[in-house]
C-alpha cells in the first residue's frame, strides 16, 4: 500500500520491520493518553498499528497527538520497534511491534462520528445508510466489501480460464410488460417513449448465443421495481451465464465446480457436500414443502392424510374431504415445549400462510407403538384416537420426547406453513450448523402453472424455457404435468441461482406461446427480435443466473444482502445518503415531455 504519502500499510507491519523508518497515514482508530506517553491505534484500509508518541523523543509530534481525536486523518513518520517484553498484543496482527513517532502531521480533522467506527454495535439502519461512508469504514463492513470483490474476482478468473467471454449488455432496453415491474426511463429524443432498465439480461444473452459466442458471462446489474426484503433490493447483481451446445449436465457441472472451488478458496473454513445433492422439484416439495429447502437439518415433512381420513377431529376430516392434506414434522426433543411456546408457534404459523397447527408431544418410555393415552399431550387430545397417534408417530419416525406438529390444509398452504415451521424450529432449537454450506440442485420444475386470477397458464421460469422432450405431447393434454428443463441452485434454504435449457426449435416455441395464450401478433410485438434471430441458425443453448448478492451474503456469513452491498436502499427503495428518489425541476420534466399526475405532485420540500 505504498504511495507518495505513506511507505507501508498499517496492517502490514511485522517484527521483520524492526528498526525500519516508515511513514504511515490513516485514521485515528483509538487514542490512549497517558499524559506524557500517548498511544494511537492508527487504522487504514488494511489494518491497525500502534503508534507511540513520547514527548521526550519528539515533542512536536506529541503535541499533534494531544490535539488529535477519533477519525482524524494523520500522517506519521517514525521507526518500527519491537514492543517492550510483556506489552505485546496477541489480539492484533501487528501486536508484536509499534511505531515510535518522530513527526506527525494532521491531514484532516473529523467531527465526532454519529456512531462508533471502532466498535461492533447495533446501529439504526437509517443512520447507517445516511452515513454509509462511515458505516463502510467499520471493520466488518469493510471486510464484507473486500470479500465481495474477491468473490467477483474469483468468478471472473474461473470463467475466463474456461473460455467464457464477459460481454456487457445495455442498461437501457425495451420494456417487456410481464413478470416484475420495470423501472422506466423516459426518452428526451423520442417524446412519449420509454426505455426500461433490465430485470435481467435474459434475452440479450440468448442473442449472444445466436451470435456465436458459445460461452458468455457477465456480472450484471438488474433492476426490479418490486417490494423489498432482506434478500431483495431494487437493484441487484447477477452472475449471468449462457452456453451453447449443452445440456443440463454441462450447466450443473459448471455451477458445482465454480461454487465448490469458490468456497474452498475463499472460505476454506466452511464445509460443503460433494457432489451437490439433486432433488426433483416434486420430491423437494414433498419432503420439504419448498423448492429451496434448507438441507442443514432434518425434520422432513411426512404425509399422514391416509391415517386420518376417519378422524374424529373435524379439521382433519373436513380438510381431507375437501381435497386437502394432513402433513407433519417431528421436532426432536420438542415435547418439552411449554404451552406458551406452542401458542407462539400457532401465532407464527399464521404469519407464514398457515391457518393453524396441532401439536402432539410424546412422553413416557419405550417404543412409540406402546404409547398410552397418558403418553401424548395435545390441545386436541380428546379428538385423537390412541391408534391414530401411534400410527402418526411411527410414520413420522418420532420417539418419546419429540413433538409432532401437524398441519391440515390445501397442499400449497400446508407446504408453505410446514416449510416455515421447519425453518423456525431449526432456528429455535439451534439445529443449524453455521459452518456448513448445504448446496443442492432442484431440477424438473413444472413448465407452467395455472394462474387462478387470469385463468391461464403462466411460465414458471420464462417463455423460452424448454420442456422435457418426452413431455412435449403433454403440452396439449395436461400442461400442468409438463416438466421443464429448468434448474435452481439452492444453498442453506436460499435460492441462489436459476436457469434452464432454452427452446431453440421454432415449432416448440410456437407451442409454448400458444399454451401461454400469447397470440402470434403479441409474440411478434414483444419478442419479435428474438424470434427473428432464431430464424438465422440458433444453437441449442441454456444458461443460469445467480444472485451474486445472496451468494456473497452466504459466504460472508451475513443474513441480509445490504451487508454486502456498498450503497443499498431502504425498504422503501430510498437512498438516505443522496436523498433519492427526489423531485426534479419542471424544466427537466418538460424536456422529457412528462406531466405529473395530480396525486404525484407532492410537496417540494423533499429535495
CB of 39 to RNA, least distance (A): 3
Distance CA 197, CA 185 (A): 7
CB of 59 to RNA, least distance (A): 11
- Of the pair 178, 283, the CB lying nearest RNA is at 178
- Of the pair 28, 307, the CB lying nearest RNA is at 28
Whether the Cβ atoms of residue 36 and residue 3 lie closer than 8 Å to each other? no
* Closest to 291 measured CA to CA, from 433, 461, 36, 150: 461
Distance CA 213, CA 206 (A): 10
Please, how many CA atoms are within 13 Å of residue 273, restricted to the half-sphere of its CB?
13
Whether the Cβ atoms of residue 509 and residue 464 lie closer than 8 Å to each other? yes
CB of 75 to RNA, least distance (A): 20
- Of the pair 234, 361, the CB lying nearest RNA is at 234
CB of 99 to RNA, least distance (A): 10
CB of 261 to RNA, least distance (A): 27
Distance CA 580, CA 574 (A): 6
C-alpha R_g of the chain = 30
What is the torsional sign of CA 253, 254, 257, 262? negative
For β-strands 97-108 and 541-547, DSSP reports them as: unpaired
CB of 113 to RNA, least distance (A): 7
For β-strands 278-280 and 439-443, DSSP reports them as: parallel
3-state SS track over 313-377? CHHHHHHHHCCCEEEEEEECCHHHCCHHHHHHHHHHHHHCCCCCCEEEEECCCCCHHHCCHHHEE
Binding site for RNA (CB under 7 A): 30, 32-37, 39, 41, 50, 52, 54-56, 69-70, 83-84, 87-89, 91-92, 95, 98, 112, 114-116, 119, 121-127, 176, 178-181, 199-200, 202-203, 224, 226-230, 232, 351-353, 416, 420, 458-463, 560, 570-572, 574, 576
- Of the pair 42, 384, the CB lying nearest RNA is at 42
- Of the pair 88, 266, the CB lying nearest RNA is at 88
- Of the pair 84, 537, the CB lying nearest RNA is at 84
Q: Residue 368 corresponds to which cell in the numbers above? A: 412409540
The three-class DSSP label of residue 492 is coil
CB of 480 to RNA, least distance (A): 15
Long-range contacts of the stretch 13-19 (C-beta < 8 A, 24+): 13/49, 13/80, 13/94, 13/97, 13/99, 14/94, 14/96, 14/97, 15/82, 15/96, 15/97, 17/80, 17/97, 18/80, 18/81, 18/82, 18/97, 19/79, 19/80, 19/81
For β-strands 235-244 and 73-82, DSSP reports them as: unpaired
- Of the pair 52, 544, the CB lying nearest RNA is at 52
- Of the pair 101, 404, the CB lying nearest RNA is at 101
- Of the pair 219, 394, the CB lying nearest RNA is at 219
Residues 6+ apart with CB under 8 A from 70: 28, 29, 30, 31, 110, 112, 113, 117, 118
CB of 314 to RNA, least distance (A): 25
- Of the pair 361, 446, the CB lying nearest RNA is at 446
- Of the pair 122, 269, the CB lying nearest RNA is at 122
Task: Sort 124 into a burial class: Cβ within 10 Å, 0-12 / 13-18 / 19+.
Answer: exposed
- Of the pair 232, 271, the CB lying nearest RNA is at 232
CB of 26 to RNA, least distance (A): 16
CB of 231 to RNA, least distance (A): 7
CB of 387 to RNA, least distance (A): 36
- Of the pair 56, 382, the CB lying nearest RNA is at 56
Whether the Cβ atoms of residue 518 and residue 510 lie closer than 8 Å to each other? no
Residues 6+ apart with CB under 8 A from 42: 10, 24, 26, 27, 28, 29, 48, 49, 50, 51, 74, 76, 99
CB of 143 to RNA, least distance (A): 18
Q: Is the peptide bond before 581 cis (omega within 30 degrees of 0)?
A: yes
CB of 336 to RNA, least distance (A): 26
Distance CA 190, CA 195 (A): 10
Amino acid at each position: 500500500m505504498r504511495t507518495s504519502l505513506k511507505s507501508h500499510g498499517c496492517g502490514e507491519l511485522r517484527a521483520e520491520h524492526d528498526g525500519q523508518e516508515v511513514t504511515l497515514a490513516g485514521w485515528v482508530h483509538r487514542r490512549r493518553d497517558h499524559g506524557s506517553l500517548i498511544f494511537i491505534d492508527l487504522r487504514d484500509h488494511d489494518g491497525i498499528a500502534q503508534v507511540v508518541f513520547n514527548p521526550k523523543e519528539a515533542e512536536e509530534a506529541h503535541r499533534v497527538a494531544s490535539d488529535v481525536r477519533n477519525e482524524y486523518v494523520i500522517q506519521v513518520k517514525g521507526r518500527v520497534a519491537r514492543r517492550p517484553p510483556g506489552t505485546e498484543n496477541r489480539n492484533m496482527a501487528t501486536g508484536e511491534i509499534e511505531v515510535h513517532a518522530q513527526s506527525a502531521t494532521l491531514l484532516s480533522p473529523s467531527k465526532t462520528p454519529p456512531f462508533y467506527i471502532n466498535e461492533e454495535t447495533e446501529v439504526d439502519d437509517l443512520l447507517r445508510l445516511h452515513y454509509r461512508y462511515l458505516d463502510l469504514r467499520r471493520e466488518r463492513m469493510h471486510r464484507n466489501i473486500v470479500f465481495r470483490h474477491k468473490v467477483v474476482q474469483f468468478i471472473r478468473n474461473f470463467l475466463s480460464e474456461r473460455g467464457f467471454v464477459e460481454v456487457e449488455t445495455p442498461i437501457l432496453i425495451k420494456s417487456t410488460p410481464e413478470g416484475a415491474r420495470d423501472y422506466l426511463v423516459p426518452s428526451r429524443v423520442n417524446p412519449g417513449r420509454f426505455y426500461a432498465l433490465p430485470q435481467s439480461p435474459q434475452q440479450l444473452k440468448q442473442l449472444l448465443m445466436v451470435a456465436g459466442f458459445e460461452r458468455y458471462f457477465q456480472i450484471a446489474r438488474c433492476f426490479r421495481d418490486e417490494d423489498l426484503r432482506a434478500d431483495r433490493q431494487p437493484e441487484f447483481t447477477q452472475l449471468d451465464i449462457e452456453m451453447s451446445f449443452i445440456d443440463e449436465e454441462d450447466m450443473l457441472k459448471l455451477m458445482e465446480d465454480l461454487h465448490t472451488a469458490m468456497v474452498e478458496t475463499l472460505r476454506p473454513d466452511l464445509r460443503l457436500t460433494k457432489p451437490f445433492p439433486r432433488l426433483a422439484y416434486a420430491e423437494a416439495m414433498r419432503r420439504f414443502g419448498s423448492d429451496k429447502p434448507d438441507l442443514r437439518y432434518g425434520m422432513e415433512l411426512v404425509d399422514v392424510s391416509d391415517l386420518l381420513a376417519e378422524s374424529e377431529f373435524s379439521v382433519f376430516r373436513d380438510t381431507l374431504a375437501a381435497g386437502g392434506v394432513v402433513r407433519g414434522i417431528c421436532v426432536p426433543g420438542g415435547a418439552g415445549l411449554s404451552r406458551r411456546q406452542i401458542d407462539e408457534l400457532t401465532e407464527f404459523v399464521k404469519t407464514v400462510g398457515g391457518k393453524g397447527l396441532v401439536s402432539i408431544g410424546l412422553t413416557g418410555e419405550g417404543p412409540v407403538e406402546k404409547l398410552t393415552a397418558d403418553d401424548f399431550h395435545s390441545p386436541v387430545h380428546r379428538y385423537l384416537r390412541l391408534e391414530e397417534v401411534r400410527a402418526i408417530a411411527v410414520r413420522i419416525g418420532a420417539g418419546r420426547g419429540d413433538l409432532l406438529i401437524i398441519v391440515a390444509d390445501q397442499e400449497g398452504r400446508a407446504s408453505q406453513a410446514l416449510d416455515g415451521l421447519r425453518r423456525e424450529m431449526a432456528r429455535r432449537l439451534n439445529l443449524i450448523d453455521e459452518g456448513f454450506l448445504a448446496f443442492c440442485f432442484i431440477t424438473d420444475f413444472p413448465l407452467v402453472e395455472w394462474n387462478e386470477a387470469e385463468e391461464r397458464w403462466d411460465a414458471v421460469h420464462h417463455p423460452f424455457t424448454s420442456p422435457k422432450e418426452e413431455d412435449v405431447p403433454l403440452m396439449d393434454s395436461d400442461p400442468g404435468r409438463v416438466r421443464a428443463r429448468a434448474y435452481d441452485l439452492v444453498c442453506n434454504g436460499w435460492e441462489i441461482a436459476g436457469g434452464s435449457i432454452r427452446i431453440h426449435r421454432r415449432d416448440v416455441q410456437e407451442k409454448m406461446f400458444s399454451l401461454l395464450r400469447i397470440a402470434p401478433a403479441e409474440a411478434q410485438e414483444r419478442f419479435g427480435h428474438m424470434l427473428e434471430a432464431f430464424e438465422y441458425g440458433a444453437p441449442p443453448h441454456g444458461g443460469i443466473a445467480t444472485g451474486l448478492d445472496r451468494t456473497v451474503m452466504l459466504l460472508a456469513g451475513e443474513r441480509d444482502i445490504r451487508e454486502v452491498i456498498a450503497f443499498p436502499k431502504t425498504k422503501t427503495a430510498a437512498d438516505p445518503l443522496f436523498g433519492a428518489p427526489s423531485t426534479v425541476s419542471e424544466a427537466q420534466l418538460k424536456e422529457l415531455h412528462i406531466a405529473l399526475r395530480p396525486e404525484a405532485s407532492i410537496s417540494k420540500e423533499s429535495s
